[in-house]
Structure 1
Amino acid sequence: MKSIKTSLIAGIAAVTVAAPAVAADLPPPMIYKAPVVVDTGGWYLRGDIGFSNQKVEELTSPAYTPAVTVLKKEVDSAAFGGIGFGYQFNNWFRVDVTGEYRGGAAFRGLDSYGAGSNDYWGTKSEWLFLGNAYLDLGTWWCVTPFIGAGIGYSRNTISNWRDINNQTGATAYADTNSQWEFAWALHAGLAYKVTNNFTAEFAYRYVNLGDFATTDMIGFNGANAAYNPIYLNGVTSHDFKLALRWSLSPSEPFAVAAPAYAPPPPAYNPPPPVYSPPPPLMRKG
C-alpha cells in the first residue's frame, strides 16, 4: 500500500513539472501589424512623345467676300516631343510644367468664289508651354488612372505658305509668321509604376492652340492688289502620348511594419514536491 501511494505522488509531480516545459517548447504566437499608408511626395522629371490629330475651326481672310465658300481646311497628324518637371504633393495630387515642340503638320485648304477657286498649302508648327495639375484616382496593381488640366501659351508658326488660283494658275506666297496664343488642355490617362522612382504613362490630351495667321500674301511678281493674309482660327488637337516620369526623391508608397512576435509567457517552475513519509502504523497490543 505504501509503494502504491508513493508512485502515485511521484507521477503527479512529474506531470506537473513537465507540463510547463512542454509549453515553453511551443512556438510563440505571431502578431502582425496592419500596413500603414504613407503619402508619396517629391520632385520629378518627365519626358513626352506622341502624335497629334488637329482640326481648324474656321478659315478666313480680310479679302473674303460673302461669295467665298470654304470647302476644305485639313491638317495632317504630326509628331511632338517635350520635357518637364513637377512635384508630387501626395498620392493623389501633383503638378508640373511642360514645354514641347510640335512638328510641322501639312495644311491644305480650298475655297471657291463662284467661277474660280483657290488652293492653299502650308506647314504649321508650335512650341507649347503648359502648367498642369493632375488628380491621381487611386492605385490598383501598380496602375493609377488620372485626370488633369493645364493652361499656358503656344507659339504658333505658319511657313511655306502658297495660294494657287486653279483657273489662272497665279500663285501668291506668304512669309513665315509666328504669334503667341493662349492655350489650354485637358488630360486623362493611365500611369504604371515600374519601380519606386520610375513611372510610365499613356495619356490622351485635348489641347486648344488658339489661332494662326499668315503674313500678307504677295504674288510671284511682287505685286499685291489687296491685303489678304489667311487666318486659321480655333485650332485644336486630339493628342495621344507616352510619358516617362523619374522621381528625384523616391519613397516607398507603403510602409509595412515587420511582423512582431509576442514574447513567450514566463515558464512556471513549481517548487519540488516535499515528500513526507506516512506516519508509522500503530500496532495493537
Structure 2
Amino acid sequence: MCGLKPLVLAGGLVVGFSGAALAADLLPPPPPLAPPVPIEVSGWYLRGDIGFSNQDVDKLDNALYGNGLVQNLNKGFDSAPFIGVGVGYKFNNWIRADVTGEYRGKSSFTGLDRYADSFLPTGWGTDSYTATKSEWTTLANVYFDLGTWNGVTPFVGAGIGMSRNTISDFTDTNVVTAALAYGREHSQWEFAWALYAGLAYQVTPNFTVELAYRYLDLGEAQSGDLIGYNGGNGSYNPMKFKDLTSQDIKIGMRWLLGPAVASAPEPYPPLVRSY
C-alpha cells in the first residue's frame, strides 16, 4: 500500500496539469496592442513669418505716354525681405484660419523706356527710372491641411485683404535731352489676394514650423507727380505701376495657446474566460 501512494500522487499531478492546460487552451487570445493615440490640436494660435519677395509689375503708365509711341524695355524689382505676425484659430486637423499683418521692406526698382521722337537723330529717345517700393499688407487667410505623414503636413490656402503700397525716391532721367524729373513719395490702399502651398512640421503638439510658397497680388501703385529739375511741370503725370505681383518664399512659426487635446482610444471588450 505504501508503494501505491507515490503513484496516486503522481497521477493526481498529471491530471491537474492536464486540466490547467485544457483551461488555458480555452482562453481567447490576448488582445492586440493599443493603437497610437491621435493628437487633435485645436484652438487659438499665434504666428510669425519671415521671407523674401520676388516682385513684378505688368506695365508702367504715364499721362505723357499718349503723346507718342512708348515701349517698356525694362521694368524690374530686386528681391526684398518681409516680416509678419498674426493670430488664428485651428478648427480641427483639417481646417485653420488666421489674420496676418506684414511689413514688406523696400525693393529697388529700375526701368527703361524708349519713345518715338522725330527730332532726335536716331528717331528714338530713352527714359531711365529708379524708385523703391514697400508695403504694409493685411490678409485674412484660410488653410486646408491635407493629412500628416511622419509629422509633415502639406497644406494649401488662400487669403484676401488690403495692401498700402508706397512708391518713393522716384527719378526719371533722360540722358539724350539732359532732362531730370522726380516724384515725391506716394502711398495708396489696394485690394490684395494670395494663394498658398507649403509643408508644416509639428515639432511639439503646441509648436509647428512651416515652409511655404505664396503668390501675392498687390494691386497697383504710383509715384507722386513728376516734377522737372527746374521745379516745373506742364501736367499732372505720376508714374503708375500696373498689376503688381510677388512670388514669396517664407518660413512661418505657429504657437498653440493652451494644451493639445488627445483623443482616448476605443476601450477593449471585456475578457471572457471559457471553462
Q: TM-score, normalised by structure 1?
A: 0.83
Q: Deviations over 1:157-190 (max 9, x none)?
A: 0001111112122211111100000000000000
Structure 2 partner of 1:278: none
Number of residues of Structure 1 aligned to a counterpart in Structure 2: 265
Structure 2 partner of 1:34: 35
Query: For 2:230, what is the secondary structure of its paired residue?
Result: coil
Percent identity for Structure 1 against Structure 2:
51
Structure 2 partner of 1:67: 69
Matches within 5 A, 1:1-285: 7-17=6-16, 30-31=30-31, 32-35=33-36, 37=38, 39-65=40-66, 66-114=68-116, 115-252=124-261, 255=264
Query: For 1:228, what is the secondary structure of its paired residue?
Result: coil
C-alpha displacement of 1:33: 3.5
Q: For the residues of structure 2 that align with 1:190 and 1:148, how far apart are their CA atoms?
A: 12
- The letter for the 2-side match of 1:47 is G
C-alpha displacement of 1:70: 1.4
- The letter for the 1-side match of 2:101 is G
User: Unaligned stretches of 5+ in structure 1?
Assistant: 269-285
Query: For 2:63, what is the secondary structure of its paired residue?
Result: coil
- The letter for the 2-side match of 1:168 is T
Q: Post-superposition, which runs of at least 4 consecutive aligned residues in structure 1 deviate over 4 A? A: 2-8, 17-25, 252-258, 260-266
Q: Which moved more, 1:211-220 or 1:124-133?
A: 211-220
- The letter for the 1-side match of 2:96 is R
Q: For the residues of structure 1 that align with 2:110 and 2:240, how far apart are their CA atoms?
A: 13
1:23 to 1:197, Cα distance in 2 relative to 1, 3 A: farther
Q: Which moved more, 1:164-173 or 1:117-126?
A: 164-173
Q: Which structure has the greater CA radius of gyration?
A: 1
Q: For the residues of structure 2 that align with 1:82 and 1:36, how far apart are their CA atoms?
A: 34
Q: For the residues of structure 1 that align with 2:271 and 2:102, how far apart are their CA atoms?
A: 60
Q: Deviations over 1:191-238 (max 9, x none)?
A: 011111111110000000000111211112211112211100000010
1:92 to 1:253, Cα distance in 2 relative to 1, 3 A: farther
- Preserved CA contact (<8 Å) 1:99 1:127: yes
- The letter for the 2-side match of 1:56 is V
Query: For 2:9, what is the secondary structure of its paired residue?
Result: helix
- Preserved CA contact (<8 Å) 1:35 1:254: no
- The letter for the 2-side match of 1:146 is F
Q: For the residues of structure 2 that align with 1:111 and 1:150, how far apart are their CA atoms?
A: 35
Query: For 1:64, what is the secondary structure of its paired residue?
Result: helix
1:223 to 1:38, Cα distance in 2 relative to 1, 3 A: same
C-alpha displacement of 1:20: 6.5
- Preserved CA contact (<8 Å) 1:42 1:250: no
- Preserved CA contact (<8 Å) 2:39 2:260: no
Q: Which moved more, 1:69-78 or 1:11-20?
A: 11-20
Q: For the residues of structure 2 that align with 1:263 and 1:60, how far apart are their CA atoms?
A: 81
Q: Which moved more, 1:103-112 or 1:246-255?
A: 246-255
- The letter for the 2-side match of 1:196 is P
Q: For the residues of structure 1 that align with 2:38 and 2:54, how far apart are their CA atoms?
A: 41
C-alpha displacement of 1:71: 1.1
Query: For 1:63, what is the secondary structure of its paired residue?
Result: helix
